[in-house]
Structure 1
């Protein structure tokens, strides 16, 4: 089992999420309810330990806060240092993101119907502390995020699968080419670097 560090407020939130997952078949409703719950958690405030807010020099990092044994929920502290971001990517599951500190810029893309066709950019938004968004559903699942602020960005990311083990797509927005990747969870060795 994956070792996680879970503040009590996140543990309670995870239990509410698990209950909603068990009782809701409608993904749109589920993600909206989880977004409301995450907004309440962020509004109430909680102490996320410094070691779960620490950026890496090379790339963004996702620290596991909670990962269910049933592979139906994972919650992570995703940290971007200044000027770091992701490639254009999908999740292959639903996701809800709330900003703990800093700011995150998100650009959404129309989900391609086939490979090899350039992607069409849609909306772009800047998310600030306390703001929550449904970042993806199975049907609407392509975006890119980055930190163009002047301090690290910490987001609480909630997914409908174990995001640290799930194969996902990365896209070249200019060509539409796709490749597969896994955002692996950090190991103790990674954190020592």
Structure 2
């Protein structure tokens, strides 16, 4: 039998349940442990997450749509849903806060970068990976974790992102762009 407030893993987990657990996790943990607490929560609920359709949100010029599902009133974290169409990709970027990303469906590619004096836009590629349904990755604030995400498949991919800051007014505030293609959408 599950503890109070923790959804049963035999049934789908909705965003409200994820948010309730995330609020408990960050409220009860030291600030430097928030990313780890959210990662443990995502490991438990990601296989059972049920997301609402958000086809009313436009796809941006880079081929994906994103929607802020929740922002904690004290700014501890925000939850975003992202839908990646075939060929979609972000600019190369870092983040202004920690983050945790889970693949709900499909596959997402990630190319990582390191800062350098020479090379394109002051960064150089350090490798690419592809992650499928159920994969979870974390990122530390900039300059650690410079990367770009992309959909390498011919199918739509859905991811859920939890970032350690309030993104209710500007979902792009999480990003620290590298190079000329700043994050506009």
TM-score by length of 1: 0.73
Give, in whole Å, the separation in 1 of the partners of 2:55 and 2:92: 24
Long gaps (5+) in structure 1: 1-6, 184-193
In structure 2, relative to structure 1, the CA distance for the partners of 1:8 and 1:167 (3 Å cut) is closer
- Confirm or deny that 1:159 pairs with 2:163: yes
Deviation at 1:10, TM superposition (A): 2.3
How many residue pairs get aligned? The number is 168
Is the contact between residue 115 and residue 122 of structure 2 (CA under 8 Å) also seen in structure 1? no
Which of 154, 173, 176 in structure 2 is aligned with 1:169?
176
Encode CA deviations 1:76-123: one digit per residue, 9 max, x unaligned. Answer: 11111000110101221110000001110001112468xx96312223
Please tell me the root mean square deviation across aligned C-alpha atoms, in Å.
3.0
In structure 2, relative to structure 1, the CA distance for the partners of 1:136 and 1:123 (3 Å cut) is farther
Encode CA deviations 1:8-62: one digit per residue, 9 max, x unaligned. Answer: 6322222332333332232xx432331121121112x132123269772733111
Deviation at 1:125, TM superposition (A): 1.5
TM-score by length of 2: 0.76
Which of 21, 29, 46 in structure 1 is aligned with 2:26?
21
In structure 2, relative to structure 1, the CA distance for the partners of 1:180 and 1:69 (3 Å cut) is farther
Long gaps (5+) in structure 2: 1-11
